[in-house]
Amino acid sequence: MKRKIILAGLVAFSALAFACALSACSACTPDNNGGGSEDEIYNGLILRLSEDETHYLVTGVESNDVTEITVPADYNNKPVTEIKRAAFYECGELSTVTIADSIEIIEGGAFAYCVSLESVKIPDGVTEIYSDTFRQCAALKSVIIPESVTKIYTSAFYNCGITEIILPEGGE
């Protein structure tokens, strides 16, 4: 009996931890989403200057009901290089996303539960696709993965409707 209670407690804690880790994108703080400056809004994106002030991070969106997003290559004459954890979490109407080639890091859960997202082209600078990056993107059918990607973590595309993955020539 004691083991069942402990196991049930661990399962409940795990579920709570995952939900908290991917909480509302606009509620991100400097401590958990990089950078030390104030948020700035650009074309509906929430951007934050990195702590070393050399580049910008996408930390969220103004509204979760966006349908189309373009992540820019630069902002205020500095490159945009990262899409942070949960940046587009539960953007349920998001169907089209264009990601600039300046992006090097797309953190886990960045597009989790974007249930209308149909296709994505991973930029050439990205080397890893982290766990839960596209979790529960049921409409996601097509993914283009560049040669730069050397590792795809478990559940990166968990519960997606993928019918086509395009790898670079000679890729496996």
The tens digit of pLDDT for each residue in 138-164 reads 999 999 999 999 999 999 999 999 999
Residue 34's CB is within 10 A of a number of other CB atoms, namely 20
The pTM (predicted TM-score) of the whole model is 0.78
pLDDT on residue 169: 72
- Distance separating alpha carbons of residues 110 and 89, to the nearest angstrom: 6
- Comparing CA positions, the residue from 38, 16, 41, 20 lying closest to residue 29 is 38
What is the pLDDT, as a whole number, of residue 13? 39
Distances (CA, A) of 7 to 4, 14, 16: 5, 11, 14
Measure the CA dihedral 88/108/22/39, to 10°. -50
Q: Give whichever of 8-12, 25-29, 33-37, 121-125 has the largest mean pLDDT.
A: 121-125
Alpha-helical runs (H) found in the chain: 2-21, 30-33
- Comparison of pLDDT for 32 and 79, the residue scoring more: 79
Which residues are CB-neighbours of 82 under 8 A, at least 6 positions away?
34, 50, 55, 57, 58, 103, 104, 105, 106, 107
pLDDT, tens only, 14-46: 344 444 444 444 433 334 455 556 899 999 999
b/e string for 66-95 if b means 16 or more Cβ within 10 A? beebebbeebeeebbbbbbbbbbbbbeebb
Question: Which residue type, as a one-letter code, is found at position 63?
Answer: S
Count of beta carbons in the 10 Å neighbourhood of residue 106: 27
